[in-house]
Structure 1
Amino acid sequence: MLPDTLPAPLSAALAARGYETLTPVQASVIADEAQGRDLLVSAQTGSGKTVAFGLAMADDLLIDGALPPAGPPLALVIAPTRELALQVSRELEWLYAGARIATCVGGMDAVRERRTLNHGAHIVVGTPGRLRDHLERGALKLQNLKAAVLDEADEMLDMGFRDDLEQILDGTPAERRTLLFSATLPRPIVALARTYQKDAFRISTVGEDRGHGDIDYQAVAVAPSDIEHSVVNLLRFHEAETAILFCATRDNVRHLHASLVERGFAAVALSGEHSQNERNQALQALRDGRARVCVATDVAARGIDLPGLSLVVHVELPRDAETLQHRSGRTGRAGRKGTAILIVPYPRRRRVEMMLKGARIAFAWHPVPTAEAIRDADRERLLAKLAEPVEFEEEDVALGARLLETRAPGEVAAMLVRALRASQPAPEELAESSPNDRPQRETEHRAGFEDTVWFRLDIGRRQNADPRWILPLLCRRGHVTRDEIGAIRIGPAETLVQIPRAIAGRFQASVQKTAGKDGDEGDLMIVPADGPPPRGASHGRRPSNAAGLGGRAPYRAKPTKPRRT
């Protein structure tokens, strides 16, 4: 139930929007101890911060429950990106019905913005650079300002906006309130708060579990060469209404977007190389359903709020836990459930585990959906879709009758199923275990493997050793083909691989040359073993503890000479 202390116009707006209760951060900013004070608020993305600071500045905007005539702004909201500023404006428009809200962001018509400011506004929302420009030109007048809001303050400092923020705040009245909202409170944020806030009331709704409660964090481990195929299978398996894929660079966004479109996905791209008009068109395509997948860089996706966004895929790993949470916070918003999936190259699993555990984010390892699993899910989705009630048009009924005149009902149904399947992108086949990895008796050999040499890798079950990524790694490092690799036998802390003696010397020379030259995988030690593996060792079957928590990372190991016997 909404609090009785809310002004009537805001209470009515919230009820019309479907609010029955306030989120923790929204309730905290209107508590008695927060009234009239500067606020330093730490809350996660998607927790309702925009409505929170909208409620917090109600006493600064309303006089006897109503807005005064528009003039120089009473409230100023500063956001790091265009998308976030536009989103904030949309939220405040329905919360303060009838308010004049001016939005000032880069990439828009600055002349039109100045004209709007000259006509008066109750609230101004903008990005630091554009607001500073209007301030210096005299179009933004702050003498009547009663509340200044810094939204996503940590991100603005990371993006280098400190000077802009300081110049804007220095131009505001000393008695104004400063409401500072940030997902995290690093030292620069605390220093900024000390400079521009007085006796700030500190609010934190970040629980001990740093991951958002409505987001299911998952991780999938893949061979580096299978990352793109994994993206395809994850999209096909989850079939989210809207999904966003994060890449680290513009080039990778461009490549992945082109690859998905070629496969038949309705996808758009967002990166720094796109104009504001292109970005607006891409977001509109996602909102109206013409596109279901967005491939984006971190900064380009900042502030995106898509109601149907239920899946976030980290195609390239974030640089730290904070970036992970900012990315993932695009889903699981306003009480809706979401899924965030990290695609982890096998050699970086331990590093990712340490990052997630250090950030206290609960997660689970999952296998990449196989083509068969996707086909099973498709069958269930198709049956569920066909079972839904449908209102038929007369033309549809007539066309169905004509089909039944020439085809049996079973044939018509099969044609329908085939047409629906043909409209979906095909799943990808991922790297599989070699057939030679299956258990076999010591006396049984494939042709060409009667005389072999065993090589030892310094990883085992505790490090999540798996033939699906060991096999392509051996081929790259040893310059051999899959058919030239025999049994792969996995022990607790090491893995033994069978190589025909005829090519063992060449294989050993190649792995020594490639040591340290294949990223993290180049640090893996591969040396001749002292002898055959003991009986009963694992024969390349995937270990049951696939999550591999607590395993040692096999990085920086150096090749060593085999011991003499």
Structure 2
Amino acid sequence: MTFSDLPPVLGDALTERGYEKLTAVQSAVVESEADGRDLIVSAQTGSGKTVAFGLAMGGQLLADGEAVPYGIQPLALVIAPTRELAMQVSRELRWLYAKAGARIATCVGGMDASKERRSLRGGAQIVVGTPGRLRDHLERGALDLSALKAVVLDEADEMLDMGFREELEAILDGAPEGRRTLLFSATMPKSIIALAKRYQTDALRISTVGDDRGHGDISYQAVTIPPSEIESTVVNLLRFHEAETAILFCATRDAVRRLHATLQERGFGVVALSGEHSQQERNQAMQALRDRRARVCVATDVAARGIDLPTVTLVIHVEVPRDAEALQHRSGRTGRAGKKGTAVILVPYPRRRRVESMLRNAKIKADWVNAPTPDAIRAQDRERLMETLLAPVDADEEDLALGRKLLETRSAEEIAAALVQAHRSKMPQPEELIANTPEARREAQQERHRPGFENTVWFRMDIGRRHNADPRWLLPLVCRRGHITRNEVGAIRIGGDETFFQIPTNIADKFDDAVKRTAKDDDKDRPVHIERSEGGPREQARRNKGPRNGPRNGQGKKPYRKAQHKDRGPKNDGDGGKVRPGKWDREKSGKPAGKKPVKQRGPRVERGKAKFKHRKGGAQKPD
């Protein structure tokens, strides 16, 4: 197929890459109306924006329509928010402009800056980088923008959200006036519009985002779960879908670290991406996903804009996204280039209303489903296993000879069973989950108590968070004072000024006696008082707070201020001291009681004139 409206070198590159037609955003930027103009482009994630702005700036880069002219100064600059996205953009532009002979330099944080400076000095027609590193090269004189003809801001809204406004303004202020500025993003908030008004001239607005913001190739599912079963649900979802590549999004680096360790222990091929990883570690993780050595990636939102793998068919929001925009960008890692994908949101019970509101704002229709059960996973395994084992294979003579030898020693049924077992041994076992019913959740909560702690007594210590209380030294203290082991201590609840802990009822009296005997041996600088607590931390908190609608002064009376408002009587300090007259006294005496007496002073106007006598020829005497 030929692309007649494009320069021949770009059309040939698209054909060799397997493109049959342009996407909506790619077609829009090469229309005659958009030729040479500044653009504000809003398009869905995964709609081909990178190739789109590569085609859009072809008129500025290709002097004769065939090749990029050689020069030391760059002709085009592409700014991306993250290292992963910048490197992805570089890869896309390399094959697109390979036939045109364009040299591309990538400048991102975490890489060797001196090597990047050598690449810039050697001459690069296209420079791709992150805002911080580009500004650093600009200030050091390594990046010369004097010959720049086009500037592209990819995912500009994300760069502003990440706090790169100052860096972007410094770069754009350093670019020549006549350059072409292209803003590409999945969303266009007010901050982007303000940036466009400042740095663009007569910009053409292009939007290929329809009324339905949800990606048409992505099916959304919401799974309600107990907060304690997030990791188990993730395991079952991965086993149920068996996606070619899956991305799991967490909110923090610690959450990524924990989930990565859990899945690795369960036998999944998994890599991690977060801000704490170096660029080399990120590159290795991405290469493992491309080589299929790993099928699962656990990442923070920093990776939401930089992962472009066509094999991603499953996205799991392990932690609820912060807003609808984050949900859109996370989910956009799947369903790319016309392929189907699934995005699953794990919703703890207390956060269901928030997620429902987020989905409404994003205009996304999600199916509320239960987490996959082990039976459902085994059924899926049987279907996949039958499909795999019955697929035709090209066996050589050595394999056939070994098969005939196996048939001589074992029956066909035994060989088939061994083959099935070999396949199943590679699969992690699914998790037993709490059924999504109130009764099942209550029963499971009761069953999860530690053996021997069904009947316990609460004890209290007079130290808490304000005294730097921590279980690491509280537990040895309790064991030492009560002559027990750590296995005989139940739940520990640390409050602000006190700490509660459980002791089994059968040893509570023995523990209480030991605590009283060892009180003398406790630390003399800060002796810790330990005693029984009736009702535990909840009952104690209820007592401290008092009844919600009852009397507050402990004497069966309404609050004094409320009674005062009712009868308008005098306000007394309660000890027979000075009474500050209220409205009742003022009405009886006729005097403005309750106010401080006004100090008698001379005429204010005359004082003012006397003070500034030099302005009008001296002070005036009072009448």
Q: 2:214 aligns with which of 193, 211, 215?
A: 211
| Cα 1:476–1:154 shift into 2, 3 Å | farther
Q: CA deviation at 1:402?
A: 2.4
CA deviation profile, 1:469-526 (whole Å, cap 9, x unmatched)? 455568899xx9999xxxxxxxxxxxxxxxxxxxxxxxx978965999xxxxxxxxxx
Residue 63 (structure 1) aligns with: 63
Residue 90 (structure 1) aligns with: 91
| Cα 1:476–1:354 shift into 2, 3 Å | farther
Where does 1:219-234 land on structure 2 (aligned, <5 Å)?
A: 219-234=222-237
Q: CA deviation at 1:319?
A: 0.6
Residue 457 (structure 1) aligns with: none
Residue 161 (structure 2) aligns with: 158
| Paired residue type of 1:467 | E
* Partner SS for 2:288: helix
Work out the CA distance in 1 between the residues paired with 2:346 and 2:370. Answer: 10
* Partner SS for 1:330: coil
| Cα 1:47–1:481 shift into 2, 3 Å | farther
* Partner SS for 2:316: strand
| Cα 1:221–1:513 shift into 2, 3 Å | farther
Work out the CA distance in 2 between the residues paired with 1:142 and 1:515. Answer: 65
Where does 1:484-495 land on structure 2 (aligned, <5 Å)?
A: none
Identical-pair percentage: 68
Work out the CA distance in 2 between the residues paired with 1:208 and 1:16. Answer: 34
Work out the CA distance in 1 between the residues paired with 2:240 and 2:259. Answer: 18
Q: CA deviation at 1:296?
A: 0.8
Contact 1:471 1:482 in 2 (8 A): no
Residue 19 (structure 2) aligns with: 19
| Paired residue type of 1:316 | E
Contact 1:72 1:121 in 2 (8 A): yes
| Paired residue type of 2:230 | I
Q: CA deviation at 1:53?
A: 0.2
Query: Runs (4+) of structure 1 moved beyond 4 Å?
Result: 470-477, 480-483, 508-516
| Paired residue type of 1:5 | D
| Paired residue type of 1:56 | A
| Paired residue type of 2:149 | K
Where does 1:171-210 land on structure 2 (aligned, <5 Å)?
A: 171-210=174-213
Work out the CA distance in 2 between the residues paired with 1:512 and 1:168. Answer: 58
Work out the CA distance in 2 between the residues paired with 1:106 and 1:514. Answer: 53
| Paired residue type of 2:232 | H
Work out the CA distance in 1 between the residues paired with 2:535 and 2:231. Answer: 31
Residue 7 (structure 2) aligns with: 7
| Cα 1:138–1:341 shift into 2, 3 Å | same
* Partner SS for 1:179: strand
Residue 337 (structure 2) aligns with: 334
Q: 1:289 aligns with which of 269, 289, 292?
A: 292
Where does 1:243-282 land on structure 2 (aligned, <5 Å)?
A: 243-282=246-285
CA deviation profile, 1:377-432 (whole Å, cap 9, x unmatched)? 00000111112121113332232222222111110010000111011000011013
Work out the CA distance in 2 between the residues paired with 1:65 and 1:247. Answer: 46
| Paired residue type of 2:50 | T
| Paired residue type of 2:6 | L
| Paired residue type of 1:77 | V
Work out the CA distance in 2 between the residues paired with 1:32 and 1:163. Answer: 34
- Structure 1 length as normaliser, TM-score? 0.78
* Partner SS for 1:295: strand
CA deviation profile, 1:63-84 (whole Å, cap 9, x unmatched)? 1212212431110000001110
| Cα 1:475–1:381 shift into 2, 3 Å | closer
| Cα 1:92–1:384 shift into 2, 3 Å | same
Contact 1:50 1:88 in 2 (8 A): yes
Q: 1:467 aligns with which of 426, 434, 439?
A: 439
Work out the CA distance in 1 between the residues paired with 2:353 and 2:96. Answer: 46
Q: CA deviation at 1:468?
A: 3.8
Work out the CA distance in 1 between the residues paired with 2:382 and 2:541. Answer: 46
Residue 142 (structure 2) aligns with: 139
Contact 1:222 1:346 in 2 (8 A): yes
CA deviation profile, 1:148-205 (whole Å, cap 9, x unmatched)? 0000000000111111111111111100000001111111111111110001000111
Contact 1:80 1:152 in 2 (8 A): yes
Work out the CA distance in 1 between the residues paired with 2:185 and 2:106. Answer: 21
Work out the CA distance in 2 between the residues paired with 1:414 and 1:514. Answer: 61
> Is 1:372 equivalent to 2:344 in the alignment?
no
Where does 1:395-474 land on structure 2 (aligned, <5 Å)?
A: 395-432=398-435, 466-469=438-441, 471=443
CA deviation profile, 1:346-367 (whole Å, cap 9, x unmatched)? 2211211111011101211111
> Is 1:109 equivalent to 2:112 in the alignment?
yes
Task: Give the CA RMSD over aligned residues.
Answer: 2.3
- Structure 2 length as normaliser, TM-score? 0.71
Q: CA deviation at 1:3?
A: 4.5
Residue 488 (structure 2) aligns with: none
Contact 2:304 2:329 in 1 (8 A): no
Q: CA deviation at 1:222?
A: 0.9
Work out the CA distance in 2 between the residues paired with 1:432 and 1:514. Answer: 33
Contact 1:272 1:300 in 2 (8 A): no
| Cα 1:73–1:468 shift into 2, 3 Å | farther
Q: CA deviation at 1:206?
A: 1.1
Work out the CA distance in 2 between the residues paired with 1:164 and 1:124. Answer: 16
Residue 560 (structure 1) aligns with: none
Instruction: Extract unaligned runs of 5+ from structure 2.
Output: 456-533, 543-623
| Paired residue type of 2:319 | E
Work out the CA distance in 2 between the residues paired with 1:63 and 1:45. Answer: 31
* Partner SS for 1:73: coil
Instruction: Please identify, of 229-238 and 91-100, the stretch whose mean Cα deviation from structure 2 is larger.
Output: 91-100
Contact 2:42 2:209 in 1 (8 A): yes
Residue 102 (structure 2) aligns with: 99
Residue 546 (structure 1) aligns with: none
* Partner SS for 1:299: helix
| Cα 1:34–1:469 shift into 2, 3 Å | farther
Contact 2:312 2:333 in 1 (8 A): yes
Work out the CA distance in 1 between the residues paired with 2:171 and 2:440. Answer: 56
Q: CA deviation at 1:59?
A: 0.4
| Paired residue type of 2:267 | G
Residue 495 (structure 2) aligns with: none
| Paired residue type of 1:210 | R
Contact 2:152 2:182 in 1 (8 A): yes
CA deviation profile, 1:434-454 (whole Å, cap 9, x unmatched)? xxxxxxxxxxxxxxxxxxxxx
Contact 1:223 1:468 in 2 (8 A): no
| Cα 1:232–1:388 shift into 2, 3 Å | same
Work out the CA distance in 1 between the residues paired with 2:408 and 2:539. Answer: 70
Instruction: Extract unaligned runs of 5+ from structure 1.
Output: 434-464, 484-507, 517-565
Work out the CA distance in 2 between the residues paired with 1:359 and 1:209. Answer: 8
Contact 2:310 2:337 in 1 (8 A): no
* Partner SS for 2:215: coil
| Cα 1:114–1:382 shift into 2, 3 Å | same
| Paired residue type of 1:99 | A
Work out the CA distance in 2 between the residues paired with 1:326 and 1:376. Answer: 33
CA deviation profile, 1:58-105 (whole Å, cap 9, x unmatched)? 100001212212431110000001110000000001111131111111
